[in-house]
Each structure stands twice: as structure tokens, then as C-alpha cells.
């Protein structure tokens, strides 16, 4: 029995770490399965068309220019084109 006790003492930190990893791994697997099969835990995605997504992204990125110099140049260009 002395040898068995000595071996357990030697590997006790590895056994504890392995047990903790197995415990938390089991919790992660249970959570994944629950999220997949339980409806109130699932993330709802709003389905929008590609055109709407592009327009929303353009509206978010592009900002209207309100510079007086640019407005004057635009007016001059419009007058020249007429």
C-alpha cells in the first residue's frame, strides 16, 4: 500500500487539473447542446436582403458634406453644365 499512496501523491495535482478540465468541458458541452435545442436560449437573427444591408452600411459610413467651398464649386459646375 505504500507504493499506491506514493503514486497518488505524486500524481494528485495532475488528477485535480484533469478533473477540473473534465468538469468545465462537460459544462461547455451541456451549454452548447442547450443553446442548440432550447428555443429561448437561441440568438435570433433578423433576415434582411443584401440590398438593404448594403444601403444600411453606406448610410452608416457616408456622411453628407457641408463645406461651403465644395457647395460653391458644385453650384459653379451645375451652372457651367447648363
pLDDT of residue 23: 98
- pLDDT band for position 17 (cuts 50, 70, 90): very high
Q: Which three three-digit cell numbers place residue 19? A: 478533473
pLDDT of residue 2: 52
**Mean of the per-residue pLDDT values of the chain:** 84
Q: Cα dihedral angle (66, 69, 74, 77), rounded to 10 degrees?
A: 180
pLDDT at 35 over 90: no
pLDDT of residue 22: 98
In percent, the amount of the chain with pLDDT more than 70 equals: 91
Q: Are 35 and 42 in contact (CB under 8 A)?
A: yes
Amino acid at each position: 500500500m505504500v507504493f499506491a499512496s506514493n503514486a497518488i501523491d505524486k500524481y494528485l495535482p495532475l488528477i485535480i487539473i484533469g478533473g477540473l478540465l473534465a468538469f468545465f468541458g462537460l459544462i461547455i458541452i451541456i451549454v452548447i447542446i442547450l443553446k442548440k435545442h432550447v428555443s429561448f436560449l437561441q440568438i435570433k437573427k433578423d433576415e434582411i436582403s443584401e440590398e438593404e444591408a448594403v444601403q444600411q452600411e453606406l448610410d452608416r459610413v457616408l456622411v453628407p458634406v457641408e463645406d461651403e467651398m465644395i457647395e460653391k464649386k458644385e453650384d459653379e459646375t451645375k451652372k457651367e453644365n447648363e
